[in-house]
Amino acid sequence: MKIKKSKWLTVLFGMLASQTTAADLYISAGNGGGGGSGTYGEAAGTGGSGNITNAGGTGGLRDSWIANVKYRGGGGGGSAAYVSTSNLGATGTGNGSNGTNGSTGTHGKGGAGGTFSYATLSELGQVTANGGEAGHDSGATAQQQGGNGGSVTIAGGNLTQYNNIHIASGFNGKSASGDDAGTGGTGGTTNVALDSISNVDTLTLYKNDAALSFSASNFIIGGRTSSLDFQGGATASFSTITFGDNGRLQGAAGAYSYQNVAVAGNASSVDSLSLTSGKSLSFDLSKAVVGGVMLSVDSGSYEAGLTVSLDNASQLRMNEGGSVTLIRHTSQTGLANLAQSTVAGYRDHVVYQSSVSGNDYVLTAASAWNNGGEAFGTGSFTVNKADGAVTVADNLGDRTGVAYASGWDGQSFHKKGDGDLVLSGTVNYTGASTVDASGSVTYQGAVQLSGAYENRGSVHFKQNASLSGLVTNYGTMTAENAVLSMASVSLLGGGEQQMAASQLLARSGAQITISDTLTAMVYASDFNADTMSFDLTHYFATEGTGNITLMAGSICEVTFDASFYSTLAGLDAAYGDTVTLLLADNREGLNMVWTGSLLDYSTLDMEALAEAGWVVRENYADGGSLTLTMIPEPATATMSLLGLSALLLRRRRRAA
């Protein structure tokens, strides 16, 4: 008769309890019990034992022998599977009992299977473990084999509180020797499938006689060295290995496989990294440090077809010229198979590109203007005060023939934000330029632009610049130790009633030349109510030493609004009418010279102007100029005129 005894233990550990101190964790299947001795057996089998597991029971002996009567010892009990934070060793409560000896007229009995009492381990998910099987009784026809060791299955769990993790399958029990010897029981199998393991010191797998299966959805390396030790041909499968900050994964090279590698920190390293086609390699750029190394690999191999992703690029604060080493190798195979990728950077004018450089896989920041391609190319440069000064070293020329996703035409420039942008390369695109209010652009390289230029902020030229399109200036444009050549310039304020100063500044011997037209739009609110004098310095501010020259043949126009025209003796004036002026000025060391020919003011209605209170003084000694000055009422006669030097007004009558 064969009697089989087994005890199944199923424990569901709650995820809400907490493990307060770091410890070592042991997960082990049980060992088989030893076989009982046979009729003529000389020795009973011993239970399996070794590594971290409990021992199976030893089989019983044949106590005596009588002719033609077969007495056998009973099989030893198998030991229980267990999960513990202490190493119970061979004396733990999970041991199987020894089989009893056979005696005259009586067969030995099988030893009881081991059982184990569990403590709560909150980090584990569902744990299913069974006790050891009892050894088989002996009888006239029965086999006296040892009981099987208990198996263990763990599904889920997040191990974060353990320094060292030991996981083992069971040993088989040993068979007895001699005739009709009992066989040993089989060791228990171990199946562990965890959700995650975080930053352990060691993970050791012992594959003994029974099967061992180990996997984890995520193995997180960071903060310390994690060593892998797989014995007896044990292997592991990791869905993802995640490298955080300052961690190292070493040992067991080639004994584990994984689908994905995620690099989510800096200064981590690994002995060996091998990725095959269809696997994925990702980098969390929000954790990258400019100038740093994310992962060092002692030996690596990469197959074509590997997927590489650059995640959270918008959170990496890296400007053009900056770099991050994604992977640094001491040796490598197939590194060229890592794809070159381009993603948008944290600013609209920055892109990040990953590529192979020597034995390294590097991420560099480049200009979206030249390197963004169809997906990320743009002429928009957004810089805010909080970003500090941003320098772009790329030359900016036309990038046409591409259908950009942003709608950019490939040849226009737009500075946005209130921060400072420095362009150190040459600038020679042909499209329009726009500088938004409060921001600044500094050109350190040569500039040659043919499109319209609108400035509402502050623009600085440190080298020679040519702007042949219409320049509309609401803010400040400064030439410093350079020649700024412009064709047509409009100096405009920011609002009809509250005008901001529109300034052209020449510093450190700079020269500003205007070859076609200088136009200023002004409103009645810009004039002194008593003198009705037009103050050009409100729009054409100068400082330092330099020259601003209106080239031969060009004119200077000022457009007044209708409310001002109504003061000019009711001359049929309307909003948008213009007058032309000729000015010779030498103020604060600046030479402002109008070199155009004498303007024809014969069409001015002198009689109507005189009736309105204007006095016309003709002065040809200064190259020919005409000054129109309103004579104030006697009570205000002592009030000074606003800095008007020589003003020539010529009313341009509209066509009937």
Q: What is the pLDDT of residues 268-305, one digit of tens each?
A: 999 988 888 999 999 999 999 999 999 999 988 888 99
| Contact (Cβ atoms closer than 8 angstroms) between residue 448 and residue 465 | yes
- C-alpha span between 443 and 463 (Å, rounded): 7
Q: Look at residues 621, 629, 620 and name the one whose alpha carbon lies nearest to residue 647.
A: 629
Return the pLDDT at 493: 60
Residues 6+ apart with CB under 8 A from 520: 490, 491, 492, 502, 536, 539, 540, 556, 557, 558, 559
- C-alpha span between 129 and 377 (Å, rounded): 60
- Local structure of 564: helix, strand or coil: helix
Ranges of H-type helices in 514-638: 562-565, 606-611
| pLDDT > 70 fraction of the chain, expressed in percent and rounded | 71
Q: Which residues of the chain have pLDDT under 50?
A: 1-20, 89-91, 494-499, 523-545, 553, 555, 558-604, 609, 612-656
Return the pLDDT at 183: 93
Return the pLDDT at 41: 73
| Contact (Cβ atoms closer than 8 angstroms) between residue 57 and residue 96 | yes
Return the pLDDT at 267: 96
The distance of Cα 430 from the centroid of its chain, to the nearest Å, equals 34
Six token digits for residue 656: 């009937």
- Local structure of 652: helix, strand or coil: coil
Length, in residues, of the chain: 656
Residues 6+ apart with CB under 8 A from 512: 479, 483, 484, 485, 486, 504, 506, 546, 547, 548, 549
Output the pTM of the full model.
Answer: 0.74
Q: Dihedrals φ, ψ of 185, to 5°?
A: -75, 160
Return the pLDDT at 459: 97
The count of other CB atoms within 10 Å of the CB of residue 558 is 19
Return the pLDDT at 407: 96
Six token digits for residue 13: 């550990």
- C-alpha span between 167 and 165 (Å, rounded): 7
Handedness of CA 638, 639, 640, 644 (dihedral sign): negative
Q: Are strands 225-231 and 202-206 parallel, antiparallel or unpaired?
A: parallel
- C-alpha span between 634 and 641 (Å, rounded): 14
End-to-end CA distance of the chain: 129
Residues 6+ apart with CB under 8 A from 96: 30, 31, 33, 47, 54, 55, 56, 57, 76, 77, 78, 79, 80, 111, 112, 113, 114, 132, 135, 146, 147, 149
